Amino acid sequence: MNVASQVLRPRHFASDNYAGICPEAFAAMVEANLGHEVSYGDDSWTEKASNLLREIFEINCEVFFVFNGTSANSLSLASLCQSYHSILCHQMAHVESSECGAPEFFANGTKVLLLPGEAGKVDPTSIQGAVNKRTDVHYPKPRALSLTQATEVGTVYSVAELGALSEVARRYNLRVQMDGARFANAVVGLGVAPKEITWKAGVDVLCFGGTKNGIAIGEAVVFFNLEAAREFDYRCKQGGQLASKMRFLSAPWVGMLQNGAWLRHAAHSNAMAKRMELAIKDLPGIGVPYPVESNAVFARIPDDVVQAMFARGWKFYTNVGGWEESRLMCSWDTTTEDVDGFAADLKELATAKAAGR
Ligand SMILES: *Cc1c(COP(=O)(O)O)cnc(C)c1O
């Protein structure tokens, strides 16, 4: 492929994992490639990345780098539970809908129990119901609460909402795990210090997503509960998640964290989503069902208009997780032209449909 065709390759709204590697992460990988380094995580890049995470969270935490979000979620949840326990999560949670049973598998049978809640967020009152439904030995004992921040529909739990949830979790002796595949977008969306929505809000372990923020491969598992991190290195190794050339998982984090690129990229993708929302929300026949608080816009788009958009070459997911909405996801490299071009096509097609053309 020549350079021109690469430059012209179109950007899409299907997922933030359609985007490539951001320059800061790429530069760090190039630098990490300059010579030999110690393997299996005992290298200077991994130490530096871990220390940067401790700085950002303003606390001594235990850090592990793994290949993807499914393993980060599954292994961290397994570290909180015994096989006879259960994990509570929202019914739309990635842990439930998109991980092929990996949390149950890696926790040796721990059952995932589903909770309701508006706009992709767990309703705190539903936790009580799930915990008290049965308290006898025949029911899998609830032990962990998994929260997705930002949620599967792009909404964000506020500091107060997290406080209320963790208060309930503490009352019932539930540990709190956070699926932060889009944690950076949530931090920027809320405009808070990372500690306010993690350990200060009762989170025991955070799966901090790097991939969708602009890294090639990899997520950081950040334990604020140091006891829960005990022997997690063995769990990673057994789960096939200990990279021998670990520096290539950790170096990009140095690139992202050392000069705030993770926040800049998240702020940009959030801004692009907001621009998209404003451009399409009042188009005829189009609805935006959830508040846009991160880098996702969910839109109700009539099926024939969806098909016409696909025919024009746009890629985006419909019926994500079995729901009726289309999902438009912005990335670190989404441009205003991309958004405006998409919105212009949608306007033309939606308007034509409304006019019966
Ligand atoms: C993308 C995503 C993950 C991670 O998925 P992998 O494909 O396993 O990396 C986890 N949680 C949520 C909410 C996601 O969107």
Residue 177, ligand 1, Cβ within 6 A: no
Asked if 130 and 165 touch (Cβ cutoff 8 Å), the reply is: no
Instruction: Give the homologous superfamily in CATH for domain 3-19+263-354.
Output: Aspartate Aminotransferase, domain 1 (3.90.1150.10)
CATH 3.40.640.10 in the chain, residues? 23-257
Using the mean position of ligand 1's atoms as its centre, give its distance from the Cα of residue 182 in Å.
9
Helices (H), 58-136: 69-80, 94-97, 102-106, 124-132
Using the mean position of ligand 1's atoms as its centre, give its distance from the Cα of residue 142 in Å.
23
Low-confidence ranges of the chain (pLDDT < 50): 1-5
What is the SS3 assignment for 65? strand
Residue 152, ligand 1, Cβ within 6 A: yes
Shortest-distance atom of ligand 1 to CA 73: 10
Using the mean position of ligand 1's atoms as its centre, give its distance from the Cα of residue 128 in Å.
27
pLDDT of the residue at 107: 96
CATH 3.90.1150.10 in the chain, residues? 3-19+263-354
pLDDT of the residue at 5: 46
pLDDT of the residue at 9: 67
HSE-CB at 50 with a 13 A cutoff on CA atoms is 20
Beta bridge mates, 28: none
Shortest-distance atom of ligand 1 to CA 151: 13
pLDDT of the residue at 10: 77
Using the mean position of ligand 1's atoms as its centre, give its distance from the Cα of residue 181 in Å.
6
Give the Cβ contact number of residue 294 at 10 Å: 30
- Residue 350 vs residues 84, 199, 285, 307, 346: alpha-carbon distances, Å: 51, 45, 7, 12, 6
Cα–Cα distance for residue pair 301/305, rounded to 1 Å: 7
Cα–Cα distance for residue pair 58/1, rounded to 1 Å: 45
pLDDT of the residue at 1: 40
- What number does CATH give the domain 23-257? 3.40.640.10
Using the mean position of ligand 1's atoms as its centre, give its distance from the Cα of residue 17 in Å.
9
What is the SS3 assignment for 153? coil
Residue to substitute in 18, 67, 70 for testing ligand 1 pocket (most ligand atoms within 8 angstroms of CB): 70
Six-digit token string for 217: 């491969």
Cα–Cα distance for residue pair 250/191, rounded to 1 Å: 26
Cα–Cα distance for residue pair 243/248, rounded to 1 Å: 9
Cα–Cα distance for residue pair 190/294, rounded to 1 Å: 9
Beta strands, E only, the chain: 62-66, 85-90, 111-115, 141-148, 175-180, 205-209, 219-223, 296-299, 317-318, 326-329
Cα–Cα distance for residue pair 344/175, rounded to 1 Å: 46
Distance of CA 173 to the CA centre of its chain: 25
Using the mean position of ligand 1's atoms as its centre, give its distance from the Cα of residue 295 in Å.
14
| 343, containing H or E segment | helix 336-354
Residue to substitute in 98, 148, 177, 217 for testing ligand 1 pocket (most ligand atoms within 8 angstroms of CB): 98
pLDDT digits (tens, 9 = 90+) for 142-182: 999 999 999 999 999 999 999 999 999 999 999 999 999 99
Using the mean position of ligand 1's atoms as its centre, give its distance from the Cα of residue 304 in Å.
29
Asked if 190 and 155 touch (Cβ cutoff 8 Å), the reply is: no
